[in-house]
Chains A and B, each alone.
Chain A
């Protein structure tokens, strides 16, 4: 079975500072990896995903994540955050074969608070 650990439940940071949101996963099979963002009063939306190929994945709003197979990590980074990045971020995995698109295993989420 797969599992996802988001090590930080809350991350406060000042505007224009860099941020890293950590995600580790465990799986006995190959997986696809995702980061979703949920802004207040909105649905989750896909930030970026890793399916194959380059381990550095770029997403929307200046975010990027790096897949590290040896460390089973998929940390999310942004070099300079804005107030508008305040949201909850979810890391998720899915088996890369079989199953359905919606059968995601989510982490517990990390609340990013950007302060002026």
Chain B
């Protein structure tokens, strides 16, 4: 099946720094990528949808200036958490789908801890 690679798997950073998370489709062209986050003991929640070459569409309540999403190529999307704070500590996971690759394929997730 299609593979989505997400890096890093775990990151610890100081408050105020920015963190970039990468999501790559290894063997298919991902026309659409999705970013989710999961707070402890909560459900995975969709944060934003990004189509290659377009601006991301953010879900209600997600700050677009804080969570910068770039989907400049058909195989790579990045999520940058700018000026991270402890309340941004969460599990972030991406998924991708392509026009010729039906289905939704997930990365392995990134555990972000902001000190």
**CB interface residues, B 28-80, toward A, < 8 Å:** 32, 34, 36, 41-46, 49
Known: A46-B104, A102-B97. A108 touches B41 (CB 8 A): yes
Q: Which residue of A lies closest to B42 (CB)?
A: A108
Q: Does A102 contact B46, Cβ atoms closer than 8 Å? A: yes
How many residues of B are counted as interface, with CB atoms below 8 angstroms from the partner's CB atoms? 24
Q: Is A28 at the interface (CB under 8 A from chain B)?
A: no
Complex contacts, B43 vs chain A, CB 8 Å: 4, 105-109
Q: Is B105 at the interface (CB under 8 A from chain A)?
A: yes
B101 → chain A closest CB, angstroms = 11
Q: Does B106 contact A45, Cβ atoms closer than 8 Å? A: yes
Complex contacts, B105 vs chain A, CB 8 Å: 43, 45
Q: How far is the CA of A45 from the CA of B107 in the complex (A)?
A: 9
Q: How far is the CA of A15 from the CA of B53 in the complex (A)?
A: 48
B6, B97, B106, B107: residue with the most chain A Cβ atoms closer than 10 Å:
B106
Contacting residue for B6 out of A43, A100, A104, CB 8 A: A43
| Chain A interface bracket (under 10, 10 to 19, 20 to 34, 35 or more) | 20 to 34
**CB interface residues, A 10-48, toward B, < 8 Å:** 36, 38, 41-46
Q: Is B81 at the interface (CB under 8 A from chain A)?
A: no
**CB interface residues, B 80-109, toward A, < 8 Å:** 93, 95, 97, 103-109
B3 → chain A closest CB, angstroms = 8
Complex contacts, A72 vs chain B, CB 8 Å: none
Complex contacts, B46 vs chain A, CB 8 Å: 102-104
Q: Does A43 contact B97, Cβ atoms closer than 8 Å? A: no
Q: Does A100 contact B106, Cβ atoms closer than 8 Å? A: no
Known: A44-B93, A102-B97, A108-B41. A36 touches B106 (CB 8 A): yes
Q: Is A67 at the interface (CB under 8 A from chain B)?
A: no
A96 → chain B closest CB, angstroms = 15
Q: How far is the CA of A100 from the CA of B104 in the complex (A)?
A: 11
Q: Is B4 at the interface (CB under 8 A from chain A)?
A: yes
Q: Is B113 at the interface (CB under 8 A from chain A)?
A: no
Interface string of A38-74 (1 = CB under 8 A from B): 1001111110000000000000000000000000000
Which 4 A/B pairs are nearest by Cβ-Cβ distance?
A: A102-B34, A43-B106, A44-B106, A106-B44
